[in-house]
Amino acid sequence: MQAVIFDGRQITVNDIPKPEPPPGFALIRVLKAGICGTDLEIVNGYKGFKGVLGHEFCGIVEQSDNSELNGKRVVGEINVSCGHCNFCKNNMARHCSNRQVMGILGLNGCMADYCVLPLLNLHQVPEKITDRQAVMLEPLSAACEILEQVSLQGNEKAVVLGDGRLGILCAWVLAGLLEDVTLVGHHQEKLEKAEWRHLKTVINKFNTSEKADLIVEATGSASGFREAVSLCRPRGTIVLKSTVSSSIRIDLAPVVVNEIAVLGSRCGDFNDGLRMMLTYPDLKIERLIEAEYPLNSAVDAFRHAAETGVLKVVLKMD
């Protein structure tokens, strides 16, 4: 089969053997795979991952011990946990201390004709949801994780910094629940694409006299963190959504003085993403996809995804 491989230096599309699913795993024929900010970071050295890239996909189960799932369209949670450690036993399997993470840590990814994942990780995709929507479930669920971490009443003022893929998804998740959500970005065309319901968008610099209760930092830059701190009310919350592969210089004194809570936030539960997609069919999440490339043009696709101002780029195997 064909697969997009990162060898620690460069990306190539190679012919490799089709994977053999271990016990409890399913063999999945991949239909589409998304390129995520984390993939771009990995290619820049983050986590030192080598192997088949990719962790956002939609595919069809070709072979598994669950006959009901064979032939069905699925998406998959990317953390493969041990099931035995304290985290697994305490409902924190995504933090399993022995975990492998598809395309990120110790496990080949989904940018290939086939991939394998435990049956436990799979979610069947309802018919109403298209392939182009389903491939967006992983990042949408990651955005939904905010709601698991922050208890919202509905009257909060929220600001999302960063009009990239994840920033827009976070803004949409919050706009589903809160009246007062502002997305701040640097690209007019992205902000226009992000418009949905009562979501407010602001270009470049958000000036507000009233500070916000909740800030989502999705720029991944030092200036984004500084802006988040300056926009956050005392005892407010900043959710950190982006992983960047380098250190940044920041001043933590205002975090202390204003007793701000800074919460790291990573993957989410796919059930939350699925629920959101079904609740808001008008969201048309697939509008974030800017381009689709065949698998063997993955190098071009990565180049495109890394360009400033580009939203989601997807690989298609179908």
Q: Which residues sit at the interface with a copy of itself, rule CB under 8 A?
A: 46, 87, 92, 95, 97, 145, 149, 225, 234-235, 240-266
How many angstroms separate the CA atoms of 165 and 190, rounded?
Answer: 9
DSSP helix/strand/coil, 136: coil
Amino acid identity, residue 238?
Answer: I
Q: Which is nearer to a copy of itself, 203 or 252 (CB)?
A: 252
CB of 249 to a copy of itself, least distance (A): 5
Which has the closest alpha carbon to 77: 108, 42, 119? 119
Q: Two tokens at 158? A: 């929220």
**Which residues have C-beta within 8 Å of that of residue 163, sequence separation ≥ 6?**
183, 184, 185, 186, 187, 190, 191, 194, 201
Q: How far is the CB of 295 from a copy of itself (least distance, A)?
A: 28
Min dist. Cβ of residue 215 to a copy of itself (A): 14
Q: Indicate the residue among 67 and 153 with the shorter CB distance to a copy of itself.
A: 153
Nearer to a copy of itself, 51 or 224 (CB): 224
CA distance 209 to 170: 23
Q: Judged by CB, which is closer to a copy of itself: 23, or 154?
A: 154
- Kindly list the distances between the CA atom of residue 232 and the CA atoms of 215, 227, 274, in Å, as whole numbers in the listed order: 7, 9, 30
Pairing mode, strands 11-15 and 2-6: antiparallel
Of 196 and 225, which CB lies nearer to a copy of itself in the complex structure? Answer: 225
Q: At closest approach, how far in Å is the CB of 124 from a copy of itself?
A: 27
Joined together, the tokens standing for residue 114 give: 């086939």
CB of 49 to a copy of itself, least distance (A): 13
> How far apart are CB 230 and a copy of itself at their closest, in Å?
14
72 vs 233, beta carbon nearer a copy of itself: 233
